[in-house]
Amino acid sequence: MTVPATPVPPAARRPAPSPTPEALLGLFPAGTRLAEDDGQLVIGGCRVTELADRFGTPALIIDEGALRDRARRYAAGLAARWPNSRVAFASKAFPCTAVYRVLAEEGLSIDVAGGGELALALAAGVDPARIVLHGNAKTDAEVEMAVAAGVGLIVVDNTDDIDRLERIVTGEQAVLVRVTPGIRPDTHAAVATGQEGSKFGLTLPRARRAISRLRASDRLRLDGVHVHIGSQILDTEPFARAVEAVAELGTFAVYDLGGGLGARYTYDDHPPSVEEYLDAVVGAARRVLPPDAQIILEPGRSMVAEAGVTLYRVATVKRGEPTFVAVDGGMGDNLEVALYGQRFEATVATRPGGGEPHHLVGRHCESGDVLSADVRLRDPRPGDLIAVPVTGAYCFSLSNNYNGALRPPVVFCRDGEARPVVRRETYADLLHRDLP
């Protein structure tokens, strides 16, 4: 039996098209252009070569204008369709204080999952009353931290949460009950959360029992229910079914309908627009929910993914069948390929578009460290800059120190100005927690 020398995640094996410059730019943050003098990528008004020279590589570049525009599009679109509403950023997609701060400035609430994200949100100046705490395994310390901070909503994921809250809360705490509606959207199993057997939430019969118990509590105020069926969902129909499922539980003041809208990672992806998603969710809400209830939506991936671009430097090109183009990053700064089989496109940043298929791989000691298989690159050479778009979601969250890699900086670009918001790690950082 012959085994391939380099396993490639299934989603990364699709043949790559030969993109036109227009198709290529369609994957980058809106407003990205090619410089008139040399054709290199310009993101947020900043030339990629200047960004790489100043901040090094790998580097996660965020178009701040694109990020703010997406936040406004969500908030204004939802308010126009359902005035008693709010948008809460699902911050596990990008738990960075600068991102929290920008989205709070745009009027968004923040969804956190655990004490670390809560600490970051508070450090960014987010109003605790506009924070929603999630988590399927909250600790006493995390609940105490949330209650002490004055977190607005705590989502009950299991009956242990009720026990813990009733023991810790001394005044009044608003809560929601997370419901598992038995809906399995067409997405990777690792990011599907609404199906039977999910570790998240309570099935409808168990949710009813939790609701009855909470309504009898003298310190936990049941505001409503929460549902979230997964991530990277490219069809609106499952979202509408989730709304219908929670409507069966009764009338509440608040319905948190989660998030999960997918992002456009590849030329072949065609996710619903923000507006199509809002139309589907709010359309279902108008049919089955009380008209005076508050709706909360929690976009994460679709809020931040397309605002991000990762810049790498080519370390080596190994000619053959296939030809491997190895860069100075990889699964230390992008685990989505290895975890979910997510496909990413890429281009030589100074010669964008076209080229022959290559395997774009990382520097880590794993055969599965493949950033993108059969991606078209135009004559890649050592020292070239490679740009990988749509890396604003989860790449920062999942970054790690495998092989002692240093986690990359985060740089915000806007109107031609670049500012670092997270510095690159140093070797001293790697040693910082070690004890003699």
The length of the chain is 436
- Give the residue numbers marked as catalytic: 365
SS3 content of the chain, % helix, strand, coil (to 5): 30, 25, 45
Identify the pLDDT of residue 14.
Answer: 53
Identify the pLDDT of residue 189.
Answer: 62
Structural domains of the chain sorted by starting position, each given as residue range(s) with its CATH number in brackets: 10-63+305-431 (2.40.37.10), 65-303 (3.20.20.10)
Half-sphere exposure of 258 (CA within 13 A, CB side): 31
Residue 295's beta-bridge partner residues? Answer: 85, 255
Identify the pLDDT of residue 3.
Answer: 36
Handedness of CA 34, 37, 43, 49 (dihedral sign): positive
With H, G, I as helix, E, B as strand and everything else as coil, classify residue 121: helix
With H, G, I as helix, E, B as strand and everything else as coil, classify residue 306: helix
pTM for the full predicted model: 0.93
Half-sphere exposure of 101 (CA within 13 A, CB side): 10
Asked whether the beta carbons of 179 and 328 are under 8 A apart, the reply is no
Using N-to-C axis directions, what is the helix angle for 274-288 and 237-247, rounded to 10°?
Answer: 30
Residue 368's beta-bridge partner residues? Answer: none
Q: What is the residue-wise DSSP string for 190-213?
A: GGB-SSTT-SSSEEHHHHHHHHHH
Digitized pLDDT (tens) for each residue of the chain, 436 residues in all = 333 444 445 444 455 557 777 889 999 999 999 999 999 999 999 999 999 999 999 999 999 999 999 999 999 999 999 999 999 999 999 999 999 999 999 999 999 999 999 999 999 999 999 999 999 999 999 999 999 999 999 999 999 999 999 999 999 999 999 998 766 665 556 555 556 666 677 989 999 999 999 999 999 999 999 998 887 989 999 899 899 999 999 999 999 999 999 999 999 999 999 999 999 999 999 999 999 999 999 999 999 999 999 999 999 999 998 999 999 999 999 999 998 899 999 999 999 988 999 999 999 999 999 999 999 999 999 999 999 999 999 999 999 999 999 999 999 999 999 999 999 999 999 999 999 9
Question: Whose CA is closest to 391, among 377, 410, 376, 364?
Answer: 410
Strands (E), 135-219: 153-156, 173-180, 202-203
Q: Tell me, rounded to whole angstroms, the distance of Cα 91 from its chain centroid.
A: 7
Cis peptide before 299 (omega within 30 of 0): no
Neighbour count for residue 172 (Cβ, 10 Å): 10
